[in-house]
Amino acid sequence: MEDLGHALAEGGAGMRMLGGGNPALIPAVTARWRERMAELLAEGERFDRALAVYDPPRGNARFALALAGFLQREYGWDVGAEHIAITGGGQAAFFYLFNLFAGDFGGGRRKRVLLPVVPEYIGYANQGLGADFFVGAMPAIEHPAAHAFKYRVNFERLRVGADIGAICASRPTNPSGNVLTDAEVAQLDALARERGVPLILDNAYGEPFPGIVFTRIQPVWNENIVLTLSLSKLGLPGTRTGIIVAHPDIIRAVTSMNTIVGLANGNVGQALVTPLLESGELRRLVTEAIRPFYERKAANARAWVARYFDDALDYHVHASEGALFLWLWFRGLPVSSEVLYERLKARGVLVVPGRPFAIGCAEAEAHAAECIRVSFAMEDAVVEEGIAMIADEVARIYAGG
């Protein structure tokens, strides 16, 4: 990751940046945030308060009420402000949650986080305050069409042992773009309740916002589900605003962690978004601007893969059901994903090698070492050129070059 960071920083104008997770700057969306910032400035005292007054450690009260109301109206969930806490980005939310539910509990008792579908988000990998923190499960792999694959939770093999403190999945999944089906979520929810552990659903790309989901799903929440949301993929990563929707006991624990770690979190993202939650405009921004934008980007990226990859090669693209990435699998690739990453970087294309996404799962490691993650959030010309170069390099490698 550090190398990727350096490459991103030093890559210069020539580097095709298909490695990062930054959301695109969608003109209609950036225009709306500029407008909102001007409105906020014009709101006078509200602007002063956003800048000059610490929020309570749990987050802004008006924002929590607005979000609770939005979730009630959208889904009929029984959510109140007492179910909501703000963190300094989704990433920080995971650091809190993982170390709340897993790790060393004293007296020799250790708990771990179960990731039911690995490859899973690389950002979880080093968050545990302790070793051996994650148990990852290799999913079943389906092949719905030629050159296509899709992960399914392998419930037959999924074990929730006594050492499991929480189950966690990103939906849509970073890196694969997989979206757990409603049936899979229901089964994970049932399993979690049965074992008395929370189910954490990472909604960084999911419904109701940012809504970068290309399949029809019915989002669920109950007091055993810890739902994390983020303003980042709404085009506001700079505001570092993460949201946890969970049982009030968990919210109280997160609030204490916020107090200890950061006193309070940034107010500005919440101040910008609150009126859009209150009016319901956020739903429109998602359905009319954000989702169609990424849906088109995903379709283009898939079309370029089909165009540039040699049909004779044993390549597979994961079903692109959401998020910002194509997850490419080169079965039997004679070099590791890291070597492929280095070779692509030398040619001016930055991707993310697959292996580090195989968190806590040796079986997934061999598979992920044949995969790369390619972001399609950049300008079309950059994505197309990058994909053409990946196709060319992979063909060379398969040919022994």
Which part of the chain contacts ligand PLP (CB under 6 A), choosing from 9-17, 89-97, 190-198, 347-355? Answer: 89-97
Query: Should residue 237 be labelled a site residue for ligand PLP when binding is judged by CB under 6 A?
Result: yes
Q: And the tokens for 333?
A: 């690739």
Sign of the CA dihedral with 356 first, then 358, 360, and 365 last: negative
Judged by CB under 6 A, does residue 119 bind ligand PLP? no
Residues 6+ apart with CB under 8 A from 232: 23, 89, 90, 204, 210, 241
**Exactly one of 57, 90, 206, 266 binds ligand PLP (CB under 6 A); which one?**
90
DSSP 312: T
Query: Which lies closer to ligand PLP via its Cβ, residue 89 or residue 211?
Result: 89
Q: How far, CA to CA in Å, does 364 sit from each of 120, 141, 142, 197? A: 10, 11, 15, 24
- Residue 89 contacts ligand PLP per CB under 6 A: yes
C-beta of 61: minimal distance to ligand PLP in Å?
A: 21
- The C-alpha atoms of residue 314 and residue 248 are separated, in whole angstroms, by 49
Interacting residues with ligand PLP between 166 and 225 (CB under 6 A):
170, 174, 202, 204
Give the range of 50-58, 230-238, 245-253, 384-392 binding ligand PLP by CB under 6 A: 230-238
Q: Which of 358, 381, 382 is nearest to 368 (CA)?
A: 358
Amino acid at 8: L
Total of residues contacting ligand PLP (CB under 6 A): 14
CB of 230 to ligand PLP, least distance (A): 3
C-alpha torsion sign, points 2, 130, 122, 364: positive
Of residues 251 and 313, the one with the C-beta less far from ligand PLP = 251
Which of 121, 221, 308, 376 binds ligand PLP (CB under 6 A)? It is 121
Interface segment toward ligand PLP; rule CB under 6 A; list 83-91, 105-113, 147-155, 378-386:
83-91
Q: Is residue 103 part of the contact set for ligand PLP (CB under 6 A)?
A: no
Which of 4, 16, 21, 368 lies at the binding interface for ligand PLP (CB under 6 A)? 21
Of the candidate residues 176, 232, 265, 267, the single one contacting ligand PLP (CB under 6 A): 232
**Burial category of 335 from C-beta neighbours within 10 Å (exposed 0-12, middle 13-18, buried 19 and up):** middle
Rounded alpha-carbon distances, angstroms, from residue 360 to 112, 116, 357: 10, 10, 9
Please report how close the Cβ of residue 392 comes to ligand PLP at its closest, in angstroms.
28
Residues 197, 113: Cα–Cα separation, whole Å: 10
Interface with ligand PLP, residue 242, by CB under 6 A: yes
* Footprint of ligand PLP (CB under 6 A): 21, 89-91, 121, 123, 170, 174, 202, 204, 230, 232, 237, 242
